[in-house]
Amino acid sequence: MLVDEDGAAGKKIVADLGTAQAHFILADVSRGQEVEAMVKATVERFGRIDILVNGANALHANQPMLNVPEAIFDRIYAVNCKSLYLSAMHVVPVFRRQGGGVILNMASAGGVRPRSGLTWYNGSKGAAIVLTQSMAVELARDGIRVNAINPVMGETDQLTTLMGMEDTPGNRAKFIGTIPLGRLSRTADVASAAVFLASDEASFITGDCINVDGGRCI
């Protein structure tokens, strides 16, 4: 079940997947009623929920911390932090009835090793990391595993915003130079880590935050 507030993008991904098993729900994960409806619709369609991926992300442009408007700050923490609370409130009871489940939170290398100019965004991801660890401890008795992934800056449509400058080879080189393996992250890097953490092969891993960062956080 795919969830996004961008209906066109969500429907395109479902079409690209090319399977009748994929479905899309329009929802803003920072709003309690919409998250509740999302979870209810998923259970009605599939009968259960096995894995919850909290992948929504909001950020501000790379800039001095005092230049970030309050409304943008509020949106970042609503999407990056409040959504973890809301999804837990509605999915954890489902997991408990089933006897277990997996939660995977998308944090960031910025929550471990912050970059200048992204202070409030970094803080939201630091919160996601601590929430992951605390949830893992509390929910372990229910057979619920909780882990996180910390990607480094990647080749996505948010790259220009994170860099705070035009996406040119020269500007990319400034950031790539801070990553020991010498490139930005790719969606496949993150997806591979996610599939592992959600699988039975990771059945004894919980409360971990894997840095998919090419060595940036060392």
Q: Which one, of 76, 83, 23, 82, lies nearest residue 49 by Cα?
A: 23
Q: Which one, of 92, 99, 16, 18, lies nearest residue 54 by Cα?
A: 92
Q: What is the pLDDT of residues 71-82, one digit of tens each?
A: 999 999 999 999
Pairing mode of beta strands 24-26, 2-4: parallel
**pLDDT at residue 155 is higher than 90:** no
**pLDDT at residue 99 is higher than 90:** yes
The set of catalytic residues is 121
Q: Which one, of 132, 133, 112, lies nearest residue 123 by Cα?
A: 112
